[in-house]
Amino acid sequence: MGLCLSRSSTPPVKKRQSKRLTNQATASVNGGGGSNRWSRNRSSKREDSLIQERALATILFQQQLQNGGGGGGGIPFDRSTSLRYPNSNSKKNQPLPRSSSSRARSLTDPLLQPHQLVNQEVKVDDLETNHFVLVHGGGFGAWCWYKTIALLEEAGFKVTAVDLTGSGIHSFDTNSIASLSQYVQPLTDFLEKLANGEKVILVGHDFGGACISFAMELHSFKVSKAVFVAAAMLTSGQSALDIFSQKTDSNDLMRQSQIFIYANGNDKPPTGIDLDKSLLRDLLFNHSPAKDVALASVSMRPIPFSPVLEKICLTDSNYGSVRRFYIETAEDNAIPIALQQNMISDDPPERVFHLKGTDHSPFFSKPQALHRTLEKAPTNEPASKPAVVSQPVDNTKNVPAGIHSSNTNNYFRADGQNCGNFLTERRSTKVQAAPGGGSSLGYLFGDGSSK
């Protein structure tokens, strides 16, 4: 009985054994051991969670389609949670800042894309002309405008870059060019072929300024505006050599880099000018990217000498009838800013633009800034010149002390006096009183006392 009592006093053990036997039996029926049983349970749980996630994704997808997210397009991807859950305190329709920086982005910032540089208020179709004709400088070719071409075309303008005779891919021998008209012929031929009433905007760089001036004189009625980019802007009777020779500094980079070519013999005048490739960066590209300097070093050709010597004839009725703009390059070693300003003061254009931090080749060093400036030319209205109104002068306040004269005296006003040869209406040429009052130099001017 004691054994019976001991056995009957431990019923939980029997239940655990019975339960274990039941589980083992179940496992044997399913054909696997205990380890397979637990792994199968874990995998079934993962499968259930995956099924639930897929079902939830399907429901969300169907809701998105019902809310207008379909139509054949993909579901828009939220860029951040701030777009989906905006701050309740923020103003309505307030755009999120694209950057945490408070600095205003510069127009010359290379991170800007071409479409960001376009003046959205400008409608190209409404302009007098949307056709730019780009004319390269001496030694360059149409290839140098590749960035400007891309930016202008992106903005909706039509662009033509011309290779002048013996430049770029033009096959003519540079040493055989005998005149400016021969050198500019590709440009003048292009202008002659324009349709009646069609106008263009000429853009000239470097020696290309003299070339567009020549074309403006011949075809002024086909040129809407002219833009001189660090270019030779001549007056009538001048040659490009006259302009460039104003740089008399013996250490001038231009003089150091020039290599004269004598194709007709050393006893004859030069036929061309080449540039020392080792000095190109310092002379023309001191702020330009290395890849553009490399492009120029393998693409530049000699400059014909005869067109540089030729004096140009410009008239007010032709050349003077075209609106002109000038773009200064602040850190130019080929045509220094002082020389550019001299040309501007000799024959002022309608407007002058100033590009900071750019070398002689802004189409390489500052292409976005150059594009932005060129874009202003077709939309710029003629500057109205205010009528000159002569202001009445109160001469009584300007009469120097000691002088009693009349309006017939050429030096009646104080601002009309010179430095000592003071003329009066007196019969004697001796001045009785110094201009502005008495003087201690009585032996020269007199002390004003009666003798």
The residues assigned a catalytic role are 206, 332, 360
DSSP tag of 383: P
Q: Which residue has the tokens 């567009």?
A: 212
Q: How many CA atoms lie within 13 A of 152 on its CB side?
A: 27
In 105-252, the DSSP E strands lie at 131-135, 158-162, 200-205, 223-229
Could you tell me the end-to-end alpha-carbon distance of the chain, in angstroms, rounded to an integer?
172
Alpha helices in 128-229 (DSSP H): 146-154, 180-192, 208-218
Q: Which of 299, 375, 349, 295 is nearest to 117 (CA)?
A: 375
Torsion over CA: 301, 304, 307, 310 (sign): positive
Q: Which of 381, 382, 373, 384 is nearest to 132 (CA)?
A: 373
CA distances for 290 relative to 280, 281, 301, angstroms: 11, 9, 19
- The answer to whether 25 touches 34, Cβ cutoff 8 Å, is no
* Helices 146-154, 367-379: crossing angle, 10 deg rounding: 50
Cβ neighbours around 9 below 10 Å, total: 8
Vertex 375 angle, CA 370 and 377, to 5°: 105
Instruction: Give the H/E segment covering residue 307.
Output: helix 305-309
Report d(CA 72, CA 265) in Å as an integer.
Answer: 75
Report d(CA 260, CA 271) in Å as an integer.
Answer: 8
Burial group, residue 358, by CB count within 10 angstroms (0-12, 13-18, 19+): buried
Position 324: which residue type? R
Torsion over CA: 359, 363, 364, 369 (sign): positive
